Amino acid sequence: MEKFVRLEGLVAPLDRSNVDTDAIIPKQFLKSIKRSGFGPNAFDEWRYMDVGQPGQDSSQRPKNPNFVLNQPRYRGAEVLLTRANFGCGSSREHAPWALLDFGFKAIVAESFADIFFNNCFKNGILPIVLPAPEVEALFGQVEATPGYKLVVDLPAQAVIRPDGHAVPFQIDAFRKECLINGWDDIGLTLRHADKIREFEARRRIEQPWLFA
């Protein structure tokens, strides 16, 4: 996994609550057995005027000019700004894969759905929860300022606005360490292989019916 330390990125605003993972990557793209290539189909139903199909060349499809991410001023955005309960719905990891492939490395929101939140960390995307008034202020600033960029400083746990105002955010110490070092979860867990074996052996004796 790629390390995440500090990012200075263009911000794109998606002004909606309850954006679900099916909106982020519609179900027809889940038929792929790969992890990559979902970027052109991120937000497919909102982004294009037609219904996308897997394997299709999306560069030729008619775009919805009203969808915010189609506006030229947000091209190349790396920070997504959105509202409450982002990533609700299906557990599909295709959602963070699509966002990452699209170019987003950090997502700022009032709140996230649990499974999506977890899936972000597994893919090196940093989901940042900020209080509603801070999110509201950011929406105002982003809309008013073309080329608006935020600095995300993970070691300092702060989002820094262009005016220098730093907004602190919370993150679990363990997750932070994993992101900063780009650690692979499985490798980390297997350091405890002996403990897992011991636990399992005890469980086989205490609750043998679980090992039929």
Partner 1 sequence: MPKTLYDKLWQDHVVHQEADGTALLYIDRHLVHEVTSPQAFEGLKLAGRKPWRVSSIVSTPDHNTPTDHWDEGIQDPISRQQVETLDANIREVGALAYFPFRDPRMGILHVVGPEQGATLPGMTVVCGDSHTSTHGAFACMAHGIGTSEVEHVLATQCLLQKKSRTMLVAVEGSLGKGVTAKDVALAIIGTIGTAGGTGYAIEFGGSAIRGLSMEGRMTLCNMAIEGGARLGFVAVDDTTINYLKGRPFSPTGENWDKAVAHWRTLHSDEGARFDRVVMLKAEDIRPQVTWGTSPEMVVPVDGSVPDPTREADPVKREGMERALQYMGLKPAMAIKDIAIDKVFIGSCTNSRIEDLREAASVLKGRHVAGNVKLALAVPGSGLVKRQAEAEGLDKVFIAAGFEWREPGCSMCLAMNADRLEPGERCASTSNRNFEGRQGPGGRTHLVSPAMAAAAAIAGRFADVRDVL
Contact yes or no for 7/105 (Cβ under 8 A)? yes
- When binding is defined by CB under 8 A, the residue of 89, 137, 158, 162 that contacts partner 1 is 89
| Cα 136-128-145 angle, rounded to 5 deg | 40
**Residue 152 bridge partners (DSSP):** 7, 159
Distance CA 82, CA 139 (A): 8
Give the shortest CB-74-to-partner 1 separation in angstroms. Answer: 20
Considering the rule CB under 8 A, would residue 85 count as an interface residue with partner 1?
A: yes
Q: Bin 89: left if φ > 0, else alpha if -120 < ψ < 50, else beta.
A: left
> What character string, x for contact with partner 1 (CB under 8 A) and - otherwise, covers 39-58?
------x-----x--xx---
* Helix 94-102 and helix 114-121, axial crossing angle in degrees, nearest 10: 50
Residues making up the chain, counted from first to last: 212
* Nearest residue (CB) to partner 1, 30 versus 180: 30
CB of 144 or CB of 186, closer to partner 1: 186
Q: Is 181 in the site for partner 1 (CB under 8 A)?
A: no
Binding site for partner 1 (CB under 8 A): 16-18, 20, 22-23, 26-28, 30-35, 45, 51, 54-55, 83-85, 88-93, 96, 111-115, 118-119, 122-123, 172-175, 185-186, 189-190, 192-193, 195-196, 199-200, 203, 207-212
